Each structure stands twice: as C-alpha cells, then as structure tokens.
Structure 1
Amino acid sequence: MSGTEARTRLPKKLGKQPLVEAIFEMRFESQFPVSTIWPGILYSSLAGDKIMEQLPSLSIPKEIRDADPNFAYVPVCRISWGNYWILIGDKVFAVATKIPYNGWDEFKAHILGAYTTILQTGMIKSISRCSMKCIDILDSVPFEASECFRLQCSIGERDAAGSTFHVNIGFRDQDILHTLQVISLMTMNIVTGGQLVGPLLDVDSVMELGGESSDSFLSKLSERADKLHDANKRIVFDSLSEKALEYLEPVYE
C-alpha cells in the first residue's frame, strides 16, 4: 500500500486501544444562562450515577467569556456520567469518553441521550457547528515515532526519522473540515491515576452549520454523528503505519 492510498478495510476493534478521548461537541447561541440551567436538568433526567463539578473557567466573568474567543467555547461545568463526561458552557455542549473506550455504539447512545435532553429545552437560538475529535496515544510503543505514521516529512536534508516532530495539517473533505495533528511524544495523566506516554494522533472533524435550529439539528443528529465518526475513524486508520496497526492488534469482521 502506498503512502497516498486509503485503507479499504478498517478494523472493527483493536486489542490495544489507543483512544484516550473522543468528544462530540456542539457550538451554539442562546439567550439563556444554559451553563447554570442545563446541569440540573441533565442531572435529574439522565439515568445512571452522576457527579457534577464546576470547572476553573467559571471564575472568569461571563461578560469576558462571551467577548473573548479564547474563552467563549470553554466549558464551565462538567458532569461525570458513568464512563462519560458531559461538558457544558455558555456556548458549547459536549459528550466525551473516559478510558477505557467502550465502542461507538455505546458512545453514540450516550450522545443521543444527552443531546436530546438539552435540545428539547427550547433554549438554543441557533447552532453554528458540530464536531468529532479523537485523541489517540500509542502508549509505550516499542519503535520510533516516525515509524508509527504514514508520514513523509523533511526539511532540506533532514527528515522525521529518529527526530522529534509536531505536524498539523488542515484539509476539507466535502462538508467536513478536518484538522490532523501528529506529535512524536506526548505524556498524558489519567484521571484514575497513571500516565500514558507515546506518539499522539489527534483528528478533529468539523461540520459548519450556519445557524441551524435545534429542531433541525436534533432530526439530523444520529446521521451526522455517524458521518463524523466514520470520517474521523477513516483518517485515524489511514494515518497509522502498517507496523503501528499490527502493534495495536486489529480485529476484523
């Protein structure tokens, strides 16, 4: 397989799961202080154990958060919901996975459950975008970072082999804008304790919606979630080298 060919067959699952976080996010406008209203609604509506906490960004005055693009889409509240997180801000809502990742079917069910609850409140004026972001770390991989990716990178006579690197590429595929990032070495602390250390692969896939209504968004949510997940997954596997994929123990149907 050449460096430009896409994989025609993707694994159903991996024996060694590199995914440390997957996030399905929505950005919106609202005239209501949803970051203080939605946590209570979600806490009382969703089944399962939940723990709610305020994040440090809540200490920033709302006027500053609204005016500064660096803070506008930062969550101010987080709910631990079983094996998932719910993240809530004044203009952002997201559902994210914890470790271990239990597969797309379960993740999607939690996305639909949480999003349906808040979309039916009627508090959203318009929705500007939705996205799927997946972060993978090849923990303790026993070979060079440059061997983990289908990466052709050089500057002058110097290439990535045996070197440190941080590569960021943005590209569009039909109605999805992808940002692909690979880093030769990353250390991530796990909430439950311990660390993951290894090369990082980060794929962020975004659909711009141009101010869609909550009713329209909800009617298309399942289809769009699948589309973003499938597109993101394909880029992840197209980015991994054969050697790295074999190390991750792929299982095919």
Structure 2
Amino acid sequence: MIDSSSLESVKIPLKLGNSPINQAIISICYESNFPDTALFGLLIDVFSENGCRAEEMPLLQIPKQIRENDKNLKYQELYRCIKDVNNNTHYVFGIGSNIIRFIVSGKYESWNSWRNFFEPIIREIKEKGIIKSVGNISLRYCDVFDKDYISDFNFEVKLFNQLLTEQNLSLNTSFDFNGIKINLKIGNTVFVNGVEKENSSLIDIDCVKTENLNDEEFFKKYQNILEDSHLANKQVFFSLVNEELLKLLEPEW
C-alpha cells in the first residue's frame, strides 16, 4: 500500500531546465451524440485554423462494426489535427467515435502552453454538442532519460533476495492516490517510436480518473480533474527521482 502522505509532501520545482518529458497525452473516453462520419465536418474550423494539418487516420478504412467490437480499435482516433508550435514541439488533437486525445510530441514547452492549445478545442467540442457522456479522463507523461538511471530511482526490486539494477528491467504497477488510479511503468528497456533506445531509462506515469459524467458535468469538472491529475503526476515523478538525478534535471525553485 502506498503512503500518500510521502507523495503529498514531496518538494516540486517550478520547472526543469533539462526536462526528460518525451511525450504527454490527455485521453478522454466518451460517448458521442453524432456518428463518426459527422465528426470531421463538425470540427472543420478546428482542423483548418492556426496552421493545423488535418489527417484522416488509416483506421477509417476499417468498417465501423469491426472497430466498435475490437477493444484495440474502439479507442483510436479517426481524425487528427497537428500544429507545429516550433521545429521541436508539435501539438496533436485527435478524435474518434469514442476517444478525444491531445498529445505533445517532441520538446515539452509547459503545462500552460499546452493548455492554451487544448482548452479552446474542448470549448469548440462543447459548442458543437459532440459529447453525450464521459467514462474516464487520463493524463499521461512519458519521461525518457538518455542514460540508464534505474539505480537513481527511489524504488527497489529484488529477485532471490538480490537487488536488480544492472539487468534489463521493466516494472508495471498500479495504485490509487487521492482518488486517481496511477498506472506506473519504470524500466531501462525503452522504445521510442518503436525503436529500442539503448543506454536509457523510463518513468511512465498515467493518471486515470473514472467519473461517468454526462456532458454538463464533464465540462464543469474536466479542468479540475486535469489539474488534480497534473499535480499527482508531478508528485509521483519527483518522489521517484533521487537528489542526485534531480540536480541533473536542473530544477528551478
């Protein structure tokens, strides 16, 4: 059982000068008021404004009945809008029959910068009346380090009463923290874009809040849910890195 008080008391810097964030993802599992064929037309302004590149995903070629009955396909995007913030940072908005997703790919600027991208889109979704209900909301951060820092993480794994630090290691676990389900993955076997990244390490934290909200409840609560998940993610992350590793991340207090 996780001692929540130790997570809540961890000191969190204002920002990191050397952030390891490789990708950040918001996922909203929802039920729509409209068929998937209408989604692109309803959100054409979102897909075409601010220099966004609109894409139809290959999943559209698969019949809807097959997509709806396959759990691996049901919660995938059918359309994507990609905004190049700069040469190193890309914001993505994706939507499907049962999923709304926002992604930061490349260099992570800041929470406020990302929020300025996704909140206007959520307001547009509200105005169009697309959402009927929401099942859960998740916020995931994938942190990739360019060195094997597994021994600098605040956790221990033993096998035959011996600590495992040098071996290839991948740990997946889940726990509840302040009403949020934390899905945590730690390892020194890292894949980026499907390619194994040698001599590296990973902290992958997915904060999931299950609410079962109608549309009105969702739009009232989603900001607080995301803020709570964002805080929980930081509390878990900074509880996992030791002082020596934190110094390398160049914290600003």
What is the match of residue 167 of structure 1?
A: 171
Structure 1 unaligned blocks of 5 or more: none
Q: 1:135 aligns with which of 118, 138, 142?
A: 142
Find out whether 1:78 has 2:80 as its counterpart: yes
Matched ranges for 1:1-253 at <5 A: 5-6=6-7, 8-34=10-36, 36-45=37-46, 47-82=49-84, 83-139=90-146, 141=147, 144-189=148-193, 198-210=200-212, 212-252=213-253
| CA deviation after TM superposition for structure 1 residue 241, in Å | 2.3
| 1:125 partner amino acid | K
| 2:174 partner amino acid | G
Asked if structure 1 preserves the Cα contact closer than 8 Å seen for 2:16 and 2:252, the reply is: yes
TM-score, normalising length: structure 2: 0.87
Q: Give distance in 2, aligned partners of 1:78 and 1:206.
A: 23
Q: 95-104 vs 144-153, which deviates more?
A: 144-153
TM-score, normalising length: structure 1: 0.87
CA distance change for structure 1 residues 196 and 236 in 2, over 3 Å: closer, same or farther?
A: farther
SS of the aligned residue for 2:200 comes to: strand
CA distance change for structure 1 residues 12 and 159 in 2, over 3 Å: closer, same or farther?
A: same
| CA deviation after TM superposition for structure 1 residue 208, in Å | 0.6
Q: Give distance in 1, aligned partners of 2:238 and 2:157.
A: 18
Q: Give distance in 1, aligned partners of 2:116 and 2:174.
A: 29
Structure 2 unaligned blocks of 5 or more: 85-89
Asked if structure 2 preserves the Cα contact closer than 8 Å seen for 1:146 and 1:160, the reply is: no
Q: Give distance in 1, aligned partners of 2:74 and 2:92.
A: 20
Q: CA RMSD in A?
A: 2.1
| 2:248 partner amino acid | Y
| CA deviation after TM superposition for structure 1 residue 159, in Å | 2.2
How many residues are treated as equivalent by the alignment?
Answer: 240
Q: Give distance in 1, aligned partners of 2:210 and 2:232.
A: 15
| 2:176 partner amino acid | R
Asked if structure 2 preserves the Cα contact closer than 8 Å seen for 1:79 and 1:85, the reply is: yes
Asked if structure 2 preserves the Cα contact closer than 8 Å seen for 1:137 and 1:198, the reply is: yes
SS of the aligned residue for 2:174 comes to: strand
CA distance change for structure 1 residues 223 and 5 in 2, over 3 Å: closer, same or farther?
A: closer
SS of the aligned residue for 1:85 comes to: strand
| 1:145 partner amino acid | Y
SS of the aligned residue for 2:117 comes to: helix
Asked if structure 2 preserves the Cα contact closer than 8 Å seen for 1:75 and 1:87, the reply is: yes
Q: Give distance in 2, aligned partners of 1:74 and 1:9.
A: 36
| CA deviation after TM superposition for structure 1 residue 138, in Å | 0.6
SS of the aligned residue for 1:152 comes to: coil
Asked if structure 2 preserves the Cα contact closer than 8 Å seen for 1:165 and 1:183, the reply is: yes
What is the match of residue 87 of structure 2?
A: none
| CA deviation after TM superposition for structure 1 residue 10, in Å | 0.6
Asked if structure 2 preserves the Cα contact closer than 8 Å seen for 1:147 and 1:243, the reply is: no
| 2:225 partner amino acid | R
| CA deviation after TM superposition for structure 1 residue 40, in Å | 4.0
CA distance change for structure 1 residues 245 and 43 in 2, over 3 Å: closer, same or farther?
A: farther
For residues 182-241 of structure 1, the C-alpha deviation after alignment (integer angstroms, 9 at most, x for no partner) is 121314149xxxx7962111101111112x122221122222221111111111111122
Asked if structure 2 preserves the Cα contact closer than 8 Å seen for 1:137 and 1:199, the reply is: yes
Q: Give distance in 1, aligned partners of 2:198 and 2:31.
A: 36
Asked if structure 1 preserves the Cα contact closer than 8 Å seen for 2:140 and 2:207, the reply is: yes
